């Protein structure tokens, strides 16, 4: 779409202005509101909220800069605006994606360092006064974005392993959805680059894509919980003679060879696995060892912590169902799944099929005969 046509298209101008307004309001919401509206029970990572707000502000400013370019469509202004976009959007996109990975702190400064060649190419464009270097600049920007994607592929894969080694409940903790956000960012970038060719349809689609990004980003920020260790779980009261044993166990970490026995006594027999959001660290404290020994124990068994806890929950579900059938009580799989320690039925059904090889409906139909 030509610059003059943009200024004359009232519908596009209203849509364009709406993106700026929505982005600013969403940024202020993330920065100023302490709680969540979408998921009130979730406490979002502060770092993620700040990076998301920074990206939204960058999106609004980018739109303002391109309005300035429509009034001053010169090669020099074009190069400056492109550089401002790179400086604002790439680091904030990287900050959002890295903040979702909570196993360790990942800095964003390498992205800023990686932008230096782009700024050098842009400076040469301004000095030379031609567009010969525009193509290398575009190729470098795409290569930089591809590098972020490649890094995230490996980082998210390792993060998934870390989650399964430390958390029993993964509802909303997994960040494979970040790839959806990454995909929208990529679509945003491709469409953004294509609009320079004058397509009015792409110009409209770009604004719609921006609105979708804002909505998806708000949802992801407010549903992703802050992964911090909560207080140690409370197991059932110990019987006489066990209190002293537990006190001694908590004072000195138990040897790895005793962990199987400790898990049997303090997790399986007490049904501690029914507690929601039970973490590896909490379980280690409850049985009187440390998380390193416990993690090594599960690794030696060839399973993850998540598989161990959810395996106990599946067996608990099967026992509850068998008792209900024997007593001729009418129960639902959803009810028994919650009683077995699962947060949601969807997670339970997926886990059930992984452990038994059958769907819940098929298994219950066969068990009821």
Q: What is the pLDDT of residues 146-171, one digit of tens each?
A: 888 888 889 988 999 999 999 999 88
pLDDT value of residue 321: 92
Is 181 a domain residue?
yes
pLDDT mean over 47-71: 92
267 has pLDDT over 60: yes
Q: What is the pLDDT of residue 250?
A: 43
Q: Which residue has the tokens 């912590």?
A: 305
Residues 69 and 175 in one domain: yes
Residue 69 lies in a domain: yes
User: Same domain, yes or no, for 303 and 214?
Assistant: no
Same domain, 311 and 264: yes
Mean pLDDT for all residues in the chain: 84
What pLDDT is attached to residue 121? 86
Q: Compute the distance between CA of residue 88 and CA of residue 111 in angstroms, rounded to an integer.
A: 11
**Inside any domain, residue 298:** yes
105 shares a domain with 64: yes
Q: Which is higher by pLDDT, 107 or 204?
A: 107
pTM of the model: 0.82
> In CATH, what number is assigned to the domain containing residue 303?
1.10.10.60
Max Cα-Cα span within the chain:
86
Most confident of 217-231, 307-321, 325-339: 307-321
- 51: three-class secondary structure by DSSP: helix
Do residues 163 and 289 share a domain? no
Report the b/e string of 92-111 with b at 16+ CB within 10 A: bbbbbbbbbbbeeebebeeb
CATH number of the domain residue 18 falls in:
1.20.1070
| 309: containing domain | 248-367
What's the confidence (pLDDT) of residue 251? 46
Does residue 280 share a domain with residue 361? yes
**Overall number of domains in the chain:** 2
**pLDDT band at 7; cut points 50, 70, 90:** low
Domain-embedded: residue 230:
no
């Amino acid at each position: 779409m030509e610059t003059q046509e943009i200024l004359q298209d009232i519908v596009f101008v209203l849509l364009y202005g709406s993106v700026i307004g929505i982005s600013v309001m969403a940024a202020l919401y993330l920065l100023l509101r302490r709680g969540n509206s979408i998921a009130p029970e979730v406490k979002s990572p502060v770092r993620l909220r700040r990076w998301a707000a920074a990206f939204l502000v960058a999106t609004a400013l980018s739109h303002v800069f391109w309005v300035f370019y429509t009034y001053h469509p010169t090669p020099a202004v074009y190069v400056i605006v492109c550089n401002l976009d790179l400086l604002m959007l790439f680091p904030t996109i990287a900050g959002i994606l890295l903040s979702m990975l909570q196993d360790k702190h990942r800095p964003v400064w390498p992205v800023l360092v990686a932008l230096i060649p782009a700024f050098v190419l842009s400076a040469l464009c301004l000095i030379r006064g031609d567009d010969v270097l525009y193509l290398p600049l575009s190729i470098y920007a795409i290569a930089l974005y591809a590098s972020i994607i490649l890094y995230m592929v490996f980082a998210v894969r390792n993060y998934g392993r870390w989650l399964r080694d430390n958390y029993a409940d993964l509802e909303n903790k997994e960040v494979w959805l970040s790839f959806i956000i990454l995909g929208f960012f990529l679509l945003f970038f491709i469409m953004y680059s294509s609009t320079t060719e004058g397509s009015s349809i792409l110009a409209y689609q770009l604004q719609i894509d921006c609105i979708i990004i804002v909505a998806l980003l708000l949802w992801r920020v407010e549903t992703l919980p802050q992964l911090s260790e909560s207080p140690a779980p409370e197991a059932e009261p110990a019987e006489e003679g066990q209190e002293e044993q537990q006190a001694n166990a908590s004072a000195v970490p138990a040897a790895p060879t005793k962990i199987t026995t400790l898990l049997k006594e303090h997790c399986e027999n007490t049904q501690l696995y029914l507690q929601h959001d039970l973490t590896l660290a909490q379980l280690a404290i409850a049985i009187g060892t440390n998380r390193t020994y416990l993690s090594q124990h599960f690794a030696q068994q060839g399973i993850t912590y998540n598989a161990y806890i959810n395996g106990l929950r599946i067996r608990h579900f099967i026992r509850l169902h068998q008792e209900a059938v024997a007593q001729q009580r009418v129960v639902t799989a959803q009810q028994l799944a919650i009683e077995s320690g699962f947060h949601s039925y969807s997670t339970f059904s997926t886990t059930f099929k992984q452990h038994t090889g059958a769907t819940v409906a098929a298994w219950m139909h066969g068990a009821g005969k």
